[in-house]
Structure 1
Amino acid sequence: MERRTFLRAAVAGGTAVAFGFSVTREAIAYPAEAGPSPYGPLLPADANGLELPEGFTSRVIARTGQAVEGTPHVWHGAPDGGACFTDGDGWIYVSNSEMGAGTGGVSAVRFAADGTITDAYPILSGTTDNCSGGATPWNTWLSCEETDRGFVFETDPWGGEAIRRDAMGRLKHEAAAADPDRRVVYLTEDEPDGNFYRFVPETWEAMSAGTLQVLTESDGALAWVEVPDPTAAVVRTRHQVAEAKTFDGGEGAYYRNGTCFFTTKGDNRVWAYDAAANALQVVYDDDLTDDAPLTGVDNITGTPAGDLYVAEDGGNMEICVITPEDVVAPFLRVGGQSESELCGVAFDPAGERLYFSSQRGPSGRSEDGITYEVTGPFRR
């Protein structure tokens, strides 16, 4: 019997079968399969080149090398990972800059309650290849350097001092996802033999000290083991624990309700780490999906309704939605930018606006990045 059929049968009539992992609503029918989008088909491209479902509209928030509208702040190159933070009646969107050789960093855009841009400013500079990251429950942004022996920087969306968090390890960092239930932060690593980590701070809300652990697998059992030398002074972090489970090119990460979802680009997979059950599931695998709509998986975010949104690095330049019913379908498509990638997916606090960037725009160059906003009737 196929696993999908077995799992459906196992929970029929509300009965769960114990076979090494928890059967939850979010794990009933993994992996997701192609199907119709809950938002309907994509319409012809709008004035900004975006194909969107009916009822949705877009606007350009910022362009690399140009001042953000109404502000003197010039938008950074190669916009990448991002997140939103509540700011009174409005909100702030932060965006990484994946520029190299000390020219990266993070910028922020502040919005009023009606969506009007009121300010834009830098919150980190002088770093390298700031790719993805993650928001914390205490309203800071963890910006990750995707470079050999890179660092994590904790930044203030309101423009306060940014602090390098050495205790979070030196590796080719990609994304971070805070788990307030277990008081840990999960970390992905963008290497073909990358690992999946968690940082256990000595004090929650203080990233200055703590323990870096790596997920291991032995005889099918998962465990967290301390990394002997997070500074990677002699041996690279991912090579220090022999039993460490490897993942092919870790990308985005997103935590919700006891599960950390993360993506791996080398095998085009979306994973779900069930922290309570200490179990790992494959949410999506393009090799196991007929007419797979999602390829080049990258940044990921989600909604309280249970939908996941995954941006493509390549593919058809789409952001795809994976529903709680385990259907995957395109939510939007960007035309004429095949040499770019989509990243920085994040919702405003009300869940009415989705932000994302095309990192290299129509020209395929880091100096041509575009950051967008999509507004519409998102499922919340």
Structure 2
Amino acid sequence: MPRRGLLRTAVVGMSAAAFGGSLWRGAAHADPAQPGPGPYGALGSADSNGLRLPGGFTGRVVARSGERVVNSSYTWHNAPDGGACFRDGAGWVYVSNSEIDPSGGAGAIRFDSSGTITGAHRILSGTRLNCAGGATPWNTWLSCEEVSRGYVYETDPYGVRPAVRRDALGRFKHEAAAADPVRRAVYLTEDESSGCLYRFLPAVWGDLSAGTLQVLTAGSATSGPYSWTDVPDPDGSPTATRSQVAGAKKFSGGEGCHYADDRLWFTTKGDNRVWQLNLRDDTYELAYDDSLVSGGAPLTGVDNVTGSSSGDLFVAEDGGSMDICVITPDGVVAPFLRLQGQSGSEITGPAFAPDGSRLYFSSQRGTSGSSSGGITYEVTGPFRR
């Protein structure tokens, strides 16, 4: 996202962040979210790290680019980007991409059950502009290259097994990924001004070495029915994947995506929108559009996205007011947190710990405005569950 940017059987952290079902099921074809009082109240004054939080919440820095992570020999990578949490015994692991070129890759921090950092390690090296990605139900992290004809790499959050390049997921300017265990699909966003939304259907669920890449086809409206069409040449050469299928719906700069409860949410930065796919009835609509907000829009520069078990959607800003905003199931959007003094950065990698009590995220360029100034945070408090 340039600024215009050992398999375990334990339950993956993303399952703890799944949306509550009944709330969003009743929201089909609802109007896009509008500003209102957030569920956590007003933001307080900035703490010593420039972090403004609602009452009852506290924050801390867990890593800084170029500095050794406590209780480890790993130097935290530059430009931390997309992230996710995975269970690790009684604790968890937070993984984070590095959006630099060359030598991007990804790293991870281990936490015990009390939230104490117990180590950190590298999980991917030698790749380029690793932007966002997504977790799989079989506890791997899909790290996506945001370059022309980029790849997706399947990595081991625990640092035991080597990463594997997954060519079958197509070669394009990858952004984020989200796994759907019901339809056994992996959804993929594309960070192009005329990008597409894709899904990959593995030949065998749990094995991404082979399968079918498809692109979403639909009309030009902001809501309606959609379908999926096979991409003839996932390698994307000589014709880019987004240009191979007539009727492929174009999206302005695909960013984060999140799956839960038979729905997919994804963001587009070019028009500051959050889209919702109802995967049960094959329809799509807008969950948020800043141009449709009455008064000032609280959420601009939409980027990475995650969800909590209560049904709240958390959307990070690239620019804007440097907020993470919450969109509630009843259609209210409001700031949840804000970083002050970091206007030259962007917020990346929001992800909840498996029990939903802690939120991790990064300021990609921190206070310096440079990729070497990245800061990764943890926020703890009474999150709705």
TM-score, normalised with respect to structure 1:
0.93
| Counterpart for residue 309 of structure 1 | 314
Q: Does 1:214 align with 2:212?
A: no
| Counterpart for residue 135 of structure 2 | 135
Q: Does 1:121 align with 2:130?
A: no
Q: Contact (CA 8 Å) 2:225, 2:284: kept in 1 or not? A: no
Counterpart of 2:202 in structure 1: which amino acid? P
Q: Does 1:263 align with 2:267?
A: yes
Deviations 1:12-67 (A, max 9, x none): xxxxxxxxxxx932336330000011100000001111000000000101000000
Cα displacement (A) at 1:369: 0.2
Q: Does 1:296 align with 2:301?
A: yes
Counterpart of 2:231 in structure 1: which amino acid? V
Structure with the bigger RCO (C-alpha within 8 Å, sep 6+) is 2
CA distance in 1, matches of 2:70, 2:121: 12
| Counterpart for residue 106 of structure 1 | 106
Cα displacement (A) at 1:363: 1.2
| Counterpart for residue 339 of structure 2 | 334
CA distance in 1, matches of 2:344, 2:219: 40
| Counterpart for residue 280 of structure 2 | 276
Deviations 1:103-127 (A, max 9, x none): 1000000000000101100000000
TM-score, normalised with respect to structure 2:
0.91
| Counterpart for residue 182 of structure 1 | 183
CA distance in 2, matches of 1:274, 1:197: 15
Report runs of 4+ in structure 1 exceeding 6 Å deviation. none
Counterpart of 1:302 in structure 2: which amino acid? G
Taking the TM superposition and a 5 Å limit, the aligned residue runs for 1:316-355 are 316-355=321-360
Counterpart of 1:100 in structure 2: which amino acid? D
| Counterpart for residue 224 of structure 1 | 228
Deviations 1:76-117 (A, max 9, x none): 00000000000110000000000012x100000000000010
Query: Secondary structure of the equivalent of 1:367?
Result: helix
CA distance in 2, matches of 1:245, 1:29: 21
Change (3 A) 1:287 1:112: same
- Pick from 361, 369, 374 the counterpart of residue 356 of structure 1: 361
Counterpart of 2:367 in structure 1: which amino acid? P
Cα displacement (A) at 1:242: 1.6
Counterpart of 2:226 in structure 1: which amino acid? L
| Counterpart for residue 150 of structure 2 | 150
Query: Secondary structure of the equivalent of 2:125?
Result: strand
Q: Does 1:369 align with 2:374?
A: yes
Counterpart of 1:172 in structure 2: which amino acid? K
Q: Contact (CA 8 Å) 2:90, 2:113: kept in 1 or not? A: yes
Q: Contact (CA 8 Å) 2:29, 2:285: kept in 1 or not? A: no
Deviations 1:111-170 (A, max 9, x none): 000001011000000000000000000000000000000000000001121000000000
CA distance in 1, matches of 2:378, 2:72: 18
Cα displacement (A) at 1:304: 1.7
Cα displacement (A) at 1:218: 4.8
Counterpart of 1:156 in structure 2: which amino acid? D
CA distance in 2, matches of 1:320, 1:28: 22
Identical residues among aligned pairs (%) = 63
Question: RMSD value over aligned CA atoms?
Answer: 1.1
**How many residue pairs get matched?**
357
Cα displacement (A) at 1:221: 4.2
Higher alpha-carbon Rg: 1
Counterpart of 1:370 in structure 2: which amino acid? I
Q: Contact (CA 8 Å) 1:29, 1:325: kept in 2 or not? A: no
CA distance in 1, matches of 2:363, 2:186: 27
